Structure 1
Amino acid sequence: MVRSVSALLLALLVTACGGRSDREVVRRDNDVFSSQPTRQCLTTLKSANVRFTPLPNQSFSGGCQTIDTVKLMSFGTDTTNLGPMTCPLAANFTAWAKHAVAPAAKAYLGSEVVRIETMGTYNCRNINGGRSGRLSQHAFGNAVDVSAFILKDGRRISVLSGWNGKPDERAFLRRLHQSACKRFGTVLGPDYNAAHANHLHFDMGKSMKDGSAYCR
């Protein structure tokens, strides 16, 4: 009887983890992060009235991992598809939404952004879909892809149609691209290559040897 109960509990545990044998959860405590800079980053989020939940550290096969990440719950603008994000990425993204997206929408489009659409954050894959052999910053929850903006007046401004679209949409999106270059380590848009025709890629990695942002 004891063996049967133990076997059942083990099966339930495996099911709860999605059956993934390549995942290792190593978080000790939801409120403990591994470095002082990250703990300071959490303080920055709280002081900016950002609601978030610390996530368990996880390691996956292939070198992918999510270490010291958070789940953004609320920061003033509804945003879709946000998964694990490193704290610095979350802090810069929320500041960009508040100090760049909001004023740019009023200035160029005469309306308010009520929703930011993204294509997600964490994704265990290589740069350029596998051709480079190097892990993308998405593989560490250190990148986010922004695809569109929903305005209060009902308009949807997408990167795909707006980058080379109406003059006001072009100006709006280019302003956001420019402002992102001041906050993120790497910023890639439609002018970079065809793979980025439908989104703006932001990550906290430094691609330049001198530590400056890589902005294309």
Structure 2
Amino acid sequence: MLRLLLLAAALAAATAMAAPDNPPLPLPKPPQADQAPAAGPPLPAEKPEERQEPAAPEPEKKEEPAAPTVPAPPPPPIETEDQATFDACTAELKELGAAFKLLPRIDDGEGCGIDKPIAMTRLSADVAIEPEATARCETLLQLARMTRDLIAPAARLGLPDMGRLEVVHQASGYVCRKRNSADTGKISEHARGNAIDIAGLEFEKGLVPMKIVGQEDSDLAAAFQRALNAAACLYFTTVLSPGSDGTHEDHMHLDVMKRTGGYRYCR
């Protein structure tokens, strides 16, 4: 009996020694065909392919009709001067002692020209105009009258130390161009022979340029310039005094342009 117990104890000890400390875990069984896979996070559903609709054909673009070309207005015709009026004008110039010559008709195209131009070197026996000025007789007659009636007497009062007036210096008579020498716009009155620009007055004792004066300028020279600016409109229908705009800072523009109702533009 004792021998049986000892043999049983020895077999138990041998079995315990042969067993590993961490017996292997059994491998999971593969899922059977009829078993559902283990639950996991839901997979996103596949987006169905969008059906590409065929692009609609673009409507045919209708060509816009070209805008009709508007022809530029024809240039104004050269003014035909009345012979009797012209003869009376030149006769008065001769009475004033003016020196001038008659020129052939000027036609430079684009409306530029003078029907009966004259070229003047003296406004009177006492006062020359330099350089020689070409314009219509009416334009130069008005300047000769203003020199006799206004400029010379006013200078004796406003510029008493300058002596006698000898020369009127002109900056522009006839010239074919647009107003203010612009590339476009209306034709200048210079292009019709209706305008003359005065740059300065030469006296026995020196040159007095046309200049900008303000109301705060209170000497006699400024008073003389203001007198010319104002009184010139009694002789000319357009007067642009020095400083009237950016293109008239060092001269006085004078012209005999005809306006409706005898309107005059003086600045």
Q: TM-score range by the shorter chain?
A: 0.7 to 0.9
Aligned to 1:64: 112
Distance 2:112 2:232 in 1: 25
Match of 1:113 among 145, 162, 165: 165
**Retained in 1: the 8 A contact 2:121–2:130?**
no
3-state SS of paired residue (1:148):
strand
Deviation at 1:215, TM superposition (A): 0.9
Aligned to 1:179: 231
Question: What does 1:67-106 correspond to in 2, within 5 Å?
Answer: 67-74=115-122, 75=124, 76-106=126-156
Aligned to 1:189: 241
Aligned to 2:210: 159
Please list every run of 5 or more consecutive structure 2 residues that lacks an aligned counterpart in the other structure.
Answer: 1-80
- Per-residue Cα deviation, 1:108-162 (whole angstroms, up to 9, x for no partner): 11032222211020111111222661111100221110011122122x22123x6
Aligned to 1:214: 265
Deviation at 1:55, TM superposition (A): 0.9
**Retained in 2: the 8 A contact 1:182–1:213?**
no
Deviation at 1:53, TM superposition (A): 0.7
Distance 1:191 1:198 in 2: 8
Structure 1 length normalisation: TM-score?
Answer: 0.77
Distance 1:129 1:166 in 2: 34
**Structure exhibiting the larger radius of gyration computed from Cα positions:** 2
- Per-residue Cα deviation, 1:47-74 (whole angstroms, up to 9, x for no partner): 2222221111010122200221111132
Distance 2:184 2:132 in 1: 25
Percent sequence identity is 26
Match of 2:194 among 126, 132, 142: 142
Aligned to 2:257: 205
Distance 2:88 2:234 in 1: 20
Aligned to 1:50: 98
Please list every run of 5 or more consecutive structure 1 residues that lacks an aligned counterpart in the other structure.
Answer: 1-32
Structure 2 counterpart of 1:36, one-letter code: A
Distance 1:171 1:36 in 2: 40
3-state SS of paired residue (2:132):
coil
Distance 1:132 1:184 in 2: 25
Structure 2 counterpart of 1:45, one-letter code: L
Aligned to 2:87: 39
Tell me which protein shows more helix as a share of its residues. Answer: 1
Distance 2:164 2:218 in 1: 18
**Higher RCO (CA-CA < 8 Å; seq separation 6+):** 1
Structure 1 counterpart of 2:92, one-letter code: T
* Residue 130 (structure 1) aligned with residue 182 (structure 2): yes
Distance 2:133 2:226 in 1: 25
**Retained in 2: the 8 A contact 1:82–1:120?**
no
Structure 2 length normalisation: TM-score?
Answer: 0.63
